[in-house]
Every structure is written in C-alpha cells, then in structure tokens.
Amino acid sequence: MTTTEDGAVTPALQLKDVSKTFGSVLALRDISLHVDPGTVTCVLGDNGAGKSTLIKILSGVHQATEGHLYVAGERHDFTSPREALGAGIATVFQDLATVPLMSVWRNFFLGNEPLTPLRTLDARKAREVCREELLNMGIDIRDLEQPVGTLSGGERQAVAIARAVHFGAKVLILDEPTSALGVKQSGVVLKYIRQAKQRGVAVVFITHNPHHAFMVGDRFYLLNRGRLTNEFVKGKVEREELVQAMAGGAELEALAHELESA
C-alpha cells in the first residue's frame, strides 16, 4: 500500500468535483469520492440516481464534463474503456462479462490469451492458471470445459471477478453484481468481493441493496438524484441507518403511511 508523507493512504481511485451533463440534463453534480486499496467502497443509489453514469465515468466509457479523476494520486482523463483497463481499472458489467457458449477457461482468458513461443494458444497453461486462480478465489468449478452458460449466475460473476483480479486489476468496479441473483448466490458473490479485497484490490461495489452493501462495505456513498447525499464509514453506521438513508427516510415513511391507509 502506498502512503503519502503525512502517513495517509493514497486512494487507488479518486474523483474530485466531478460533474456530468448530457445536454441540459445534469446527471451528476460535484461528486467527490475516494476508493482506498484493500477496501470495499459501496455506492448506493436507487434507479435514476446516477449510478450508471458514475460507473461509466470510472470505467472510461464517458468523460466527466467538469472535475477530474485520479488513479493512485495521478490525474487521468480516460477517453476509452481500454485506457481505464490499462491503468488497472477493471469493470465487471452485470451479465455482460462472459460469453455463455464458450468454456470457462476460454472465457477466463478472452482478450488476454496466453501464447506458446510458436504464437499458438497455450491451452494447457490457460487451463492450469484458470483452475488455480478460481481456487484462490474459493471458486470450485466442476469442469473447465463446460460452457459458462451452464454455470449459475453467481458462479458466472465469480469467474468475471477472478479474471479481473488475475489480470492485475487494482480497482475492481462491480455493477450491481447481486441484483439478478437469489439470496444464496448473492452470498457467494459477496464472499468473492471480500476475497478480492483481501488480495489488496480496491473494490467499488455499486448496488441498490443496502443489506448487501452493509455486509462487505468499508465505506458507503449514497447517491441521490445525481448528488452524493451521505457518506458513512464502517463501524460508525448501523444497518438501519443505511437502509433509512438509502430509502430517503421521510419519503419511505410517507409511502408506508400511504400504503396503510389505502
């Protein structure tokens, strides 16, 4: 872990006063946040809060209209996802990370295939490394030749996470990895998030589920209507507080009242 002169940890990823407008629409306003190595930073927000826009700025798909992005203290203005990937920022998009009909190991090395000295695909090495890396993450795949499409949703996310970690991601951005999963599988994915964190990766976990966030998060940012409304740190926040803040407190009470009286 790198530290600055005054002993503070240099954030793996930092946004300073970032705003993003699409024409007359203000999607994000004055977002400042930081993500430390070896921690899980949760970004919580309801639909339309600006989560997708934020992910796209972090992963290089969109460029910020104002403000800047810093990777390990250095300013970067990504113009493409490839540049972000090159700087060690890997994004796992929900359900868009693996090719269902391809085998596990082929998916694992897709775009980064290992080659023999004769420039052919080194399938043996690919299988070995794949099995090893998946085991390191605590993922036990029955058969590396089986198509990814036959894995469960949780296992598929896990393969994508293990792949990002293996290829040297320093920052791992997960776009709602648990939203399409059942309770048990969500637990499995949360376990892998913790594994990635323990390997020193800075994890950005984007979700609308405060319960999932609470289980693994070290720092919580609440996004509402394009603004960061709250920031919590683990140990100084209760689960109920997070749920309340996430649901917009007063709004939820009003809704509950409305439902009861109906």
Partner 1 sequence: MSATTAAPSDERLAHVSTLTRLLRRPELGALLGAVVVFTLFAVADQTGQFATMGGLANWTSVAATTGIVAVPVALLMIGGEFDLSAGVMVGTSGLLAGLLATEYGLGLWPAILLTFAFAAGIGLINGWLVMLTGLPSFIVTLAMFFSLRGINLGVTKLLTDTDRVDGYDSAKAVFASQFGSGFYIAVVWWLLITAVATFVLTRSRFGNWIYAVGGDKIAARNTGVPVRRTKISLFVCTSMAAALVGIINLVRLRSMQAGQGVGEEFTFIIAAVVGGCLLTGGYGSAIGASIGASIIGMAFIGIAFAGWNTDWTFLFLGVILFIAVLVNTYIGRRAQGARK
**Chain residues that interact with partner 1, rule: CB under 8 A:** 81-82, 85, 91, 93, 96-102, 106, 109-113, 115, 119-121, 123, 139-143, 145-147, 149-150, 152-155, 158, 182, 184-185, 188
Give the residue with the Cβ less far from partner 1, 150 or 224: 150
Q: How far is the CB of 123 from partner 1 (least distance, A)?
A: 7
Give the residue with the Cβ less far from partner 1, 136 or 152: 152
Q: How far is the CB of 139 from partner 1 (least distance, A)?
A: 7
Give the residue with the Cβ less far from partner 1, 2 or 79: 79
Strands of the sheet containing 227-233, edge to edge, are 89-92, 171-175, 202-207, 40-45, 219-224, 227-233
Eight-state DSSP code of residue 77: -
∠ CA 176-192-171, nearest 5°, is 65
Count of other CB atoms within 10 angstroms of residue 147 = 16
Q: How far is the CB of 119 from partner 1 (least distance, A)?
A: 8
Q: How far is the CB of 112 from partner 1 (least distance, A)?
A: 7
Give the residue with the Cβ less far from partner 1, 184 or 236: 184
User: Quick check: 223 and 256 in contact, CB under 8 A?
Assistant: no
Q: How far is the CB of 115 from partner 1 (least distance, A)?
A: 7
Structure tokens at 171: 């920052």
Check residue 156 and give left, alpha or beta (phi > 0: left; psi -120 to 50: alpha). alpha
Q: What is the dihedral of CA 128, 133, 138, 141, to 10 degrees?
A: -40
Give the residue with the Cβ less far from partner 1, 149 or 200: 149
